[in-house]
Structures are given as C-alpha cells and as structure tokens.
A and B are shown apart, each in its own frame.
Chain A
Amino acid sequence: MRAANEIDFWRGFALTSIFINHIPGFYFERFTHRNFGQSDSAELFVFLAGWALRLVVDSRNAPLRGTALVLRLSTRALTIYAAQILITMLALAIIAGASMAFDDSLLLQWNNAQDAFLDPVPTHIGIILLTHQLGAFNILPLYVVLMLGAPVIAVLHRRKPSAVLVLSLALYVAALVFQINFRTWPEDGYWYFNPLTWQLVFVLGFVLARDDGPGVFVRRYFRPLRAIGFALVVVGVVLAAIDFEPDPTRMPDPKLFFVFDKTFATPARVLHFLALAIAFGGSFALVLRVAAPLARFLSMLGRNSLNVFCAGSLLSLCASVARYALGDSIVVDLSVLICGVACLGATAWLSEWRERFAMR
C-alpha cells in the first residue's frame, strides 16, 4: 500500500464529489466545485486516469515492453468493463427493488433504466455493448474506450512522443467541427461523454505527468502559469456567480468551440480544468500539514478508485431512493452525506484489507 500522495488525494476528492453530484436535488451538491466554475470532477477523474496511465507506461522500476504493456492495458480495460456491467446490473436491481418496495412504477424510469424493463431484448444487448448506459453510470464506458485506446497511445508515445498530443488535438478538433459522437443503441441518441473529445483530457493527463514534452514547459514556467491559472479560476468563479454562459445561438460556427458543453468537453471546460489543475496542483503538502486525516482519507479513497467509484455510483442511487422515501430535508441529506462518505471509506478500507490479507 503506497503512502498518501497528491494523485490519490485528488482522485479521492473527485470520487467524493461525483458521489454528491449524482444525487439530484441533494442539498450538498451546491458546494461541489462545479458550482464555482465551468468544469467538474469528471474532468479531474479522466485527467488523473491519463496521468496514472503515463506512470504505468513509463514506470521507473521495471518499464513494460511491447506485448506485456499492451496486454496489461487491455486487461485493465476488461476489468473496467466488468465493473461497468456489474454496477449496471446492481443499479437495475436497486431501481426494480425500490419500485417494488414502494409500489411505485414511475421509479422504473430512473436513470434511463426503464428500457431494460420494458424493452429488454435489445436493451440487454445494448448494455453489453455499452451503447445503452444508465444515467449517471456513463463515465466507465468512456473509461473503457479510453483504456482500449491506451495501447495505441503507449506505442505511439514510445515511437514518436511528440505525435501523441498533436493527434489527440486533431481528433478533438475534428469531433467538435463535425459534431461527431458515438451513438447509443437501441435508444436513438448519443453518448453522454463523447470519447472522441474527452480523450483530449485523458491525453493531457498523460503528457503532463512527466517532465518531458509539454510537461517540461509547464514545470519550467510553473510560477507564471500558475498566476494565469489563478486568474482564470477567479474569472470562472465570477462567471459562475453571475450565471454567465455564452449564448449558443449567437456563437459563430463551429458553435461547439465556444459553448460550455459537457458531452463534448468543449474548450472552455478544458481550459477551466487546466487552470484549476495548475492553480491547486501541488497543494497536497499543505493539506497534509493542516488537515492530515482528510488528506489520508481522500488518498485512501483514491488508491482504490475503481472500487470506490463503483460503490459511489450505487450509493448515489441508494441516496436517491432514501430521499424519495424520506423526503427532502436537511436532516435526511446530512445523514445521507455522512453514511455515504463512510461507506466510500469502508469500501476503500476493505479493498486494502483484502489485499493485505492476500499477501500473507
């Protein structure tokens, strides 16, 4: 088990706020950072996934080569895929169970679930193909696609490192200009997280994780860049406070370059996220000094991110059920918050206990 560190800490932070953000109408949602700027914890989560990928690819201890590397990354994609199928099935059961327990058929509509109950034949195929995604359960399908692309990124990075970011940007721009996204099926729609644009956030994490290429630039000019980052964060807070958003109808074509849109991870969101990253990146040492238990707790969540993410997704859904049953009140919401965060902690602790147990 590694010691508390910055990456795990921020990952734990992202996991906690994803749990909170996925409960509609939840009182504490107003305190998560998406209300104070243009990006949210999804960018942080995907960026850190890219960062972690780089640490695996360029591992300082025993760098994996060729087939071993490709296999390692592909099996990671398989693990994430299995997790997605598991939590989707559990979520369907929670929704069905709530609907039966409270004898309320309208609950079956939650989180885009009702297709699975009413049109099960194609929908089950869609779930397996990741083309049918439950609402709030759509980050892992993106992550699976990104990890399937990871061997390509890794191989390209070994052969021609400078090409990684350039190709990623080219794909991003093309997807924005031509409004290209993955389709959903059997429902006729589009993916909530467009992998063709979100890959840029992932690749940015990948290229900035080490001090070469763009990573050198950021580290060399850290102070001025951080000043710019802070300024942008302040601008973001002000814009969010006055509820400013560029009017998409008045933007020139290609409109997606100028609007705030989560599905396409539009440039304003990516820029805001990068500003946040450089403004607050490196502050872990301070957090560890002034709030050590918090730093250690979030790091523990982050170390076990896939398990904690899965637990968090299901806990958000359970929280919605609890709010449905008990009503909207601060007492309910506070209890939900405390129980939820405790369960996230318990998930992480159990995961580590199991690992320690296995090593004996």
Chain B
Amino acid sequence: MVVGMARTIRNALSCARCVFWRSIVILFFDMSLAAATSAVRADDPPPSPPALSAYCQVPASDIATPEPLPHLAAALENQKTIKVLAIGSSSTVGVGASAASNGYPAQLEMILEKIFKGVAIDVVNRGVSGEVAATTAERLKVEVALEQPDLVLWQLGTNDALARVPVEDFVETVKDTLQWLKDHQVDTVLVGLQFTPRAAKDEHYTAIRNALRELAVSENVLLVRRFEAMQFIERATQTNLLSGDDLHLNDLGYRCMAEHIARAVIVSTFLLKRPH
C-alpha cells in the first residue's frame, strides 16, 4: 500500500560514504568493461536517429525543430544511467494502451536504450491525467528535486485549452517554469497538444497551440508537435490513431508518439556535434 521504498533506498545509497564505495565499484567495472559497455563518448560519431515505423512516418519538420539539449548530452557522456521525468497530463499516463508497457514512457525507454548503447534509460512516469499546466507546475519543482532527472518531458496544453485557461496565464505559467528548469540546468522537452478533427476547429485550442509553439521558439525549447504529427498521419494514412471512441492513443499511437519524441530528443542531443 505504502511505498516510497525505492526512493528511500536510493537516498540511503546516496550518502557520502556510499558514493565513495560506489565510485570504487564503478571504477572497477569501468576498467574491466569499458570496451564492452561504454557510455556515449565525446569522440564517438553521433548515433543516427532511429528509423520511424511505417505507420509513424511524418516529415521531420512536422515533428519538431531541434534545439540543443546540452545537459543531456553531457550526462550521456559521463553517466551510466539517464533519468527522464515524464510529467503532465493524460497521455503520459498510458490509458488506452493495452498494457502499461505499451504506454509511451515505457516505449521511449526501449527506443532510447537501443540507440544509446551501454546507457540505462530510466523513465519515471509522474503523469496525472486531466491536469492543467498550472497544477503540473506546482508539483514539478518538488518532483525535479526528488527525482533529479537529466531530462524532463512535459506534456501540456490540451487540458488548458479545454478548460479555457486564458492564453496569457498559460504562457506565463509555462514560461516561468521553463526558466526555473533552465536555471537548474535541466533540459526540457515539451510535448504538445493532442489532435482531434474537432480540436482543429476550436478557436481557444488553436490559440493555446500557437502560443505554445511561439513560446518554444522564443525560449529555445524543444517542442514535439504532436498535433501536427498526428494530423499528418491521420490524413496520409487514414489510420485511426485514437482508440475506440477516438479518445486516446492506442498502442500504435503510443508507439508513434514515443518514436517522435525519441527522434526529436536524439537529433537535438547531438545537434552541436552533427556537421551542418
């Protein structure tokens, strides 16, 4: 019923003495296993982004405009484990997927582990569905402090649009929170609004969507444009990415979402290294 055990154990392990012993252990393993399981080294060529599945094909420009993720890149060079905090509203939770392992955080974890060989990716899922950005922002700082992630994936906008949260309030909340994350050297990826044909015609929905897009540009933050990507797939393939009553992403939809996010993250991480 009650468990913060994992956290407790981790906290216990992070005591100064344990850190010392752990570093001895890591050093030992590093020496013996360096060749086999190295982290992503600075001089390695950047890995290519994973190919998208047939159903998830979307022009790269519809997914995201790359923005550098310097802290994640540094962490990939120096750490064996990368922690990703997935926070925000409904699709983070994975409802509508046939099993928890088919939700987007679990799939993202698998894709990233395949690309960043030798690095364990730990996606911590703190999604609370139906939440507006202001509510997420309230708990985000404490979650960051407790989880100490190398990357934050923040899914937002859909519920603010539907609750008719004034656009300027939404922008202010997101802007302040992004600033805080920047100050704390946590790279952030924003995951944008959901797509439905009806939402495409909704004025306030469009206003929030545009505001988020402008904010991502002005703040130089990576925004995965879910709405555009899903709209493209639906139009191009007539595939129903929304399960049952078209409410939620089904397993394939989660697959595409995970692939799109993974692609955007990988391209962005090595943005500074890739020859232009």
Q: Which single member of A109, A248, A328 contacts B145 (CB below 8 Å)?
A: A248
B163 close to A (CB within 8 Å): yes
A63 close to B (CB within 8 Å): no
Interface residues of B in 84-119 (CB under 8 A from A): 89-90, 93, 95-96, 100
Q: Is the CB–CB distance between B163 and A189 below 8 Å?
A: no
| Nearest B residue (CB) for A258 | B145
**Given that A25-B160, A25-B164, A119-B96 are known contacts, is A248 also in contact with B247, CB under 8 Å in the complex?**
no
Which B residues touch A245, using CB under 8 A?
141
Q: Is the CB–CB distance between A109 and B159 below 8 Å?
A: yes
Which A residues touch B247, using CB under 8 A?
105-106, 108-109, 114, 117-118
- Chain A interface residues (CB < 8 Å from chain B): 24-25, 103-115, 117-119, 135, 178-183, 187-189, 196, 245, 247-249, 251, 253, 255, 259, 261-263, 320, 323-324, 327-328
Which A residues touch B146, using CB under 8 A?
179, 248, 255
Closest-CB distance, A354 to chain B (whole angstroms): 34
Which B residues touch A328, using CB under 8 A?
164-166, 204
Total contacting residues, chain B, CB less than 8 A: 52
Closest-CB distance, A228 to chain B (whole angstroms): 28
Closest-CB distance, B256 to chain A (whole angstroms): 18
Which B residues touch A187, using CB under 8 A?
93, 95, 129
Which A residues touch B134, using CB under 8 A?
24
| Nearest B residue (CB) for A251 | B145
Which B residues touch A103, using CB under 8 A?
198
- Chain B interface residues (CB < 8 Å from chain A): 1-4, 7-8, 11, 89-90, 93, 95-96, 100, 125-126, 128-132, 134-135, 138-139, 141-142, 144-146, 148, 158-160, 162-166, 169, 184, 194, 196, 198-199, 204, 242-248
Q: Is the CB–CB distance between A118 and B243 below 8 Å?
A: yes
Closest-CB distance, A87 to chain B (whole angstroms): 16
**Given that A118-B248, A181-B2, A188-B100 are known contacts, is A106 also in contact with B130, CB under 8 Å in the complex?**
no
Q: Is the CB–CB distance between A261 and B7 below 8 Å?
A: no
Closest-CB distance, B62 to chain A (whole angstroms): 21
Q: Which single member of B139, B163, B198 contacts A24 (CB below 8 Å)?
A: B163
Q: Is the CB–CB distance between B164 and A327 below 8 Å?
A: yes
| Nearest A residue (CB) for B93 | A187
Q: In whole angstroms, how far apart are the Cα atoms of A110 and B158 in the complex?
A: 10
Q: Is the CB–CB distance between B159 and A261 below 8 Å?
A: no
Q: Which single member of A107, A253, A262, A263 contacts B11 (CB below 8 Å)?
A: A253
Which A residues touch B164, using CB under 8 A?
25, 323-324, 327-328
Closest-CB distance, B217 to chain A (whole angstroms): 24
| Nearest A residue (CB) for B170 | A25
